[in-house]
Chain A
C-alpha cells in the first residue's frame, strides 16, 4: 500500500516535471530532473509493490499493536495547535501551554508539576532565545 502511494507520487512528479518543461537532452529544461527522478521513483515503487503484494504479510496488523499511538496523535495535535497559535497569542503563552500539554500527553503527571515545568521551560527559552540570542519572537494579541 505504501509503495502504491510512492508510485502515484512519482507519476505526479513526472507530470509536473513535463509541465515545467523537459527541454532537450542537449539543454535540459527545469522539469528534466523531475521527470528522471519521478520515473525512477515510480518504477522502483512499482517493483516493490509487486514484490510485497505477493508476500504473506502479518506485520501490517502488528505495526500498531501494543503501542500507545494515541499519545502520538495527541502530541501532533498539540504541535499543530502550537504552530497555528504561535503568532496569534505570542511565543510566551503558546510555549507555556505547549509544554503543559506535552507533559500531560507524554506521561500523565501532577498538574502542578506540568505547570511548573511549563513555566521554567518557557522562562529558560525566553532568556536563551529572546534575550540572549535576540530571536524576534511574535508577541501576539496579548502583547507578550
Chain B
C-alpha cells in the first residue's frame, strides 16, 4: 500500500505539464543523439547540464534520464538501416539488424527493437523500484570506511571494464581524484591548487570539465577524419509490427535480456554496451540455430536491444541507494544533483521522495513516449541522418561555449573547457580513457572525506579498512580484479568484454 502511494506520488509529479515537457524533451533529444552517430549520451548530458540548472532538481533529472535511456532506443535505428551504430550499445545490433534490413525485414527489426526496448526499459524500472529500497537499507550499515572501500572498488571496476590498458585506466582514475579535490579543503577551508586564481577557489567546475572532455574532444576527434556522406540503405520500412513467429523467437531473448541488462547495469563499469554484448553471446549460446546469427536472426536484435535498455534502469540503483555512480552518464546525473544541492545516498529516498519517485515514474512515461516516437515516426529519424556534420559540429561547439559560460558567467570557464577539450582529444589519441577520469573527478571529494573520517575514527590506523566485513570484501574484490587482469585467461576475457566499449 505504501509502495502504491509512493508510485502515485511519483505519477502526480511527472504528470504535471512542466515535468511532462522535460520528459518529452529528454526522450526526443535522447533519440536524436542515439540516431546520429558520433555524438554519445555522455557528451550530450554534459552539453545540456548547465541548461538544466534553472529547472527544479526533479525536472532536470527527468530530462537527463530521458536523454540517457532515449539514446538507447535511437541507436538501433542507424544500426539496422545504415549499418552504423548510433551508440556503442547498438554495435551488436548491426550484426543481425542490418542483415534483416537487407532481406527486406527492416520493419520487423525496428519494430522488435522498439518493443524489446520498451519491455526491457519498463521491467528494469520495476526492478529499480523494488531493489533500491533494499540496497538503501543495507547502505545504512555503511560508515566512512565502507563507503571509501566501495568507492575504490567501484573505480577499479570502471577501470577494469573500460577498453584499453587497465594500468592507464587506473592512472586516469587517480588523476580524476586529484582534479576533483582541487579547491578549498573541506575541513580547514585552505585553498588548494588555486594558483592564485579566484575562479579556481572552488575547484575545477564540473560543467567546463565534462564539456571539454566529452563535448569538445568528441567534435575534434570527428573533424579530423574525412567527412563522408552517409549512405542510407534505401528500403521501404514497412510492417513495423513483428509477426507471430518473430514474437515466438524473440520473447525469451527479451526476458533474458531484461534480466541480464538490469544486473549488468548495477555493476560499476557495466551499462548498456557491455550488457548488449553479453546478451548477444548468451542468445547465440541458447539458440538452436547459432549459425543463423549474423545472417539476420531476430533474436540477435531483440536480446541486445532489450538488454541495453534494461541496463539504464539498473544503473540508477547504485546512484540512488549509495550515491555511487556506476558509469559516466550516472556520474553526470550525480553532478547535476550535487549542483542542485541534493546528495544521493541511503537517505535519498526518505529526504527526496519527490525526486526519487518522480524520476522512476518518469521512466514509465518516457518509455511509452519513446515507443510512440520510435515506431510511427521512424521515417523522420531516418531523414535526420542526412543532416550534414559541417552544420552539426559548429552548433555543438557553440552550445559547449555558451553552456560553459552560463554556469558562472565567466570566460575563465571557457578556457578551462578548451584546456580539457585538448586534453580529452590527446587522451583519445594516446589511448587514455575518459570514463575513469570523470568518475574519479566526481567521486574524489567524497573519497577524500570518507578517507579522512575513517582515519579519524581509527586514530590513524589503516586496519579499519580490513576489520569491517563490507570494507574488507570490497578491497579484496578490487584487488582480485586488478590481479586477475595479469593472467592471460582473464586478460583475454577482459579484452573481449571491453572490445567495443569506449564510452561507458
Interface mask (B401-438 → A, CB under 8 Å = 1, otherwise 0): 11001100101001100100110011001101000000
Count B interface residues, CB 8 Å: 61
What CA separation (Å) do A13 and B226 show in the bound complex?
39
Q: How far is the CB of A120 from chain B (nearest CB, A)?
A: 10
B252 in contact (CB, < 8 A): no
Chain A residues positioned under 8 Å from B282 (CB to CB): none
Q: B390 is contacted by which of A24, A27, A32, A109 (Cβ under 8 Å)? A: A109
A107 touches B398 (CB 8 A): no
A61 in contact (CB, < 8 A): no
Q: Which of B441-480 contact A (CB under 8 A)?
A: 444, 447-448, 451-452, 455-456, 459-462
A44 touches B171 (CB 8 A): yes
Chain B residues positioned under 8 Å from A28 (CB to CB): 451-452, 455
B225 touches A20 (CB 8 A): no
B175 touches A6 (CB 8 A): yes
Query: What is the predominant secondary structure among interface residues of chain B facing chain A?
Result: helix
B393 touches A106 (CB 8 A): yes
Q: Which of A92-117 contact B (CB under 8 A)?
A: 95, 98-99, 102-103, 106-107, 109, 117
What CA separation (Å) do A33 and B54 show in the bound complex?
33
Q: How far is the CB of A93 from chain B (nearest CB, A)?
A: 14
Interface mask (A33-58 → B, CB under 8 Å = 1, otherwise 0): 11011101100110110010000000
| A68-B224 CB under 8 A given contacts A41-B178, A99-B394, A99-B398 | yes
B residues with a Cβ closer than 8 A to A are: 51, 54, 165, 167-168, 170-171, 174-175, 177-178, 181, 185, 187-188, 190, 192-193, 216, 219-220, 223-227, 389-391, 393-395, 397-398, 401-402, 405-406, 409, 411, 414-415, 418, 421-422, 425-426, 429-430, 432, 444, 447-448, 451-452, 455-456, 459-462
Known: A26-B459, A68-B224, A72-B224. 15 other contacts (CB 8 A): A30-B185, A30-B192, A33-B447, A38-B178, A41-B175, A44-B170, A48-B165, A63-B429, A75-B220, A82-B414, A86-B411, A99-B398, A117-B391, A121-B395, A121-B398
- 23 A-B residue pairings within 8 Å (CB atoms): A2-B430, A13-B178, A25-B460, A27-B460, A28-B455, A29-B188, A31-B192, A32-B452, A40-B174, A44-B170, A44-B174, A48-B168, A48-B171, A72-B425, A75-B219, A83-B401, A99-B394, A99-B398, A102-B398, A117-B391, A129-B406, A133-B406, A136-B409
